[in-house]
Amino acid sequence: MADEKKPFPMPPGMTPPLPPGTAVPGGTRENPTSPNQAPRTARPVGMGTVYTPDKLLPSEREVLTKLGWQEGQPIPDNLPEILQQQSMDPGNSIELPGSSPAADKHPLSPQQQDAGAEALRHAQEALEHTRSIGGVQTADESVQRAMAAAAGTGEADVVIEDDVTDKAPESETGALPPLSHCPHCSWDLRIQDGLEITDGDKQKFLASLLGQIPFQKSFRVFGGKMIVVLRSLSPTELDMCFEQAYLDRRAGKFQSADAYYEIMHRYRLALQLVRIETGDVNHVFPVNIEGWEKMLPAEENDGDPLIKRITAHVTANVFGTESMNRVLGGLGGEFNRLVAKLEANAHNSDFWSTTKSPT
C-alpha cells in the first residue's frame, strides 16, 4: 500500500492557498475582483512609478476625475493607494495635490492680526491727513505740477526732460558754445588751473623730447630766495616707483588708496629733485639711476632697494620740516600737471601760439 502523501505543514500565521474555483468575496480565486473595482487590462502600477496621463486607464482616469483631478494637473505619486482606498470606500473624499488651494499652514495669531489692523489704520489716517492739508508741501514747481496733474487738479500737461544738465545758450551765428565740462571726466573746465606755460617751457619740452633727455624746469619761491629745479622721469624710474609701492602694499605698510598715491608721490619727488638753492646751502642730486647707485651703494645701506635709499636720503637732508615737505610736494604736483598739459597738446595745431587745457 502506497504511502499516503501528507500536506506540507504551513508555517504559523500563514493561510493555506485556496483551491481553484473557490468562491471569495466579489469573485473567485481566478478573478478576485470586487463589484466596485473595475477590471484592469494592463499590468498593475507599482510604487515608485512615474505616472503620465497617457498611461492612465479609463477607470483610473474616472476615479481621479471624480476626486477633482483635471487634465494638465500632475498625477499623484500615491496613485495605487488612492485607487485601493476608493475601491474599499468609494464615498471617501481625498484631496489631491494641486486640486484645491493649499490651506495656510502658518496662520497669524490674534495678536499679529490686531497689530496688522492697527498699522493699516494708522496708514489710512496719515493718508487722510496728507490729503486734508493739500498734499506734500514742496517748493519745487515741477513737483507741484506733477502732484496737481496726478490729483486731477491744475495743469495736467507735465513735461519730463531726460537731460537735466544746464544747457548753454545757443549762439546767434550757429557756432557751438564752449564746453563747460570735460566730456570724458566731467571736470569743470571753468576752473582755472593757474598754470602758465611760457614759450621757453614749450621750447625746452620739445628739445628734451627730441633729444631723449629729461625735461627740467626751475621754480623760484619765497621771493626768489629759494630755487627748486625738477625733472621728468624715465620709464625705468617710474617702474621702480610702482614696483616698490606694490611691495609696500603687499607688506601691509599701507591699506588705503590715498596712502598709495601719497607714497607714490614721495618716491617720484625724491627722484625728480635736481637742485635746491637757498643761498648758503645748496643740494645737488643725481639725474639718473646710475648716479644714485654710485652715491648710495647698496652695500653701505643694508641692501635696501634703491628707491628706498633715495627717499631716505632726501628725507633726511631736505625734508627736514613739515612745511618744507609740503612746499616741495606742491611744486612737484605743479610740475607734473605742467608736463601733462604739454603732452596733452601734442596734437594741438596752435601749440606754439597757445596751450590750453585739454577738452
User: Rounded distance, CA 246 to CA 199, Å?
Assistant: 38
Give yes or no for a contact between 322 and 328, defined as CB atoms under 8 angstroms apart.
Answer: no
Pairing of strands 282-284, 226-231: unpaired
Residue with more model confidence, 43 or 339: 339
Span 83-140, pLDDT tens digits: 777 776 666 656 555 554 444 445 677 878 888 888 888 787 777 766 665 555 555 5
pLDDT at 225: 92
* Residue 226, CB-side half-sphere exposure with 13 Å CA sphere: 11
* 3-class secondary-structure state, position 338: helix
Q: Could you tell me what percent of the chain has a pLDDT over 70?
A: 64
Every domain of the chain and the residues it spans: 199-344
Neighbours of 206 (CB within 10 A): 15
Q: What is d(CA 98, CA 85) in angstroms, rounded to the nearest whole number?
A: 19
Q: What is the pTM of this model?
A: 0.47
In the chain, what are the helix, strand and coil shares in percent, each to the nearest 5?
40, 5, 50
Q: Indicate the residue type of 18.
A: L
Across the range 8-28, mean pLDDT stands at 54
Q: Is 155 helix (H, G, I), strand (E, B) or coil?
A: coil
Phi, psi of 329 (to 5 degrees): -65, -40
Mean pLDDT taken over the chain: 75
Q: What per-residue confidence (pLDDT) applies to 49?
A: 54
pLDDT over threshold 80, residue 208: yes
Write the pLDDT tens digit of every residue in 60-73. 888 778 777 777 77
The DSSP bridge pattern shows strands 216-221 and 23-24 to be unpaired
Q: pLDDT per residue over 256-270, tens digit each?
A: 888 999 999 999 999
Above 80 in pLDDT, residue 309? yes
Alpha helices in 79-189 (DSSP H): 79-88, 110-132, 141-151
d(CA 164, CA 105): 52
CA distance 95 to 238: 78
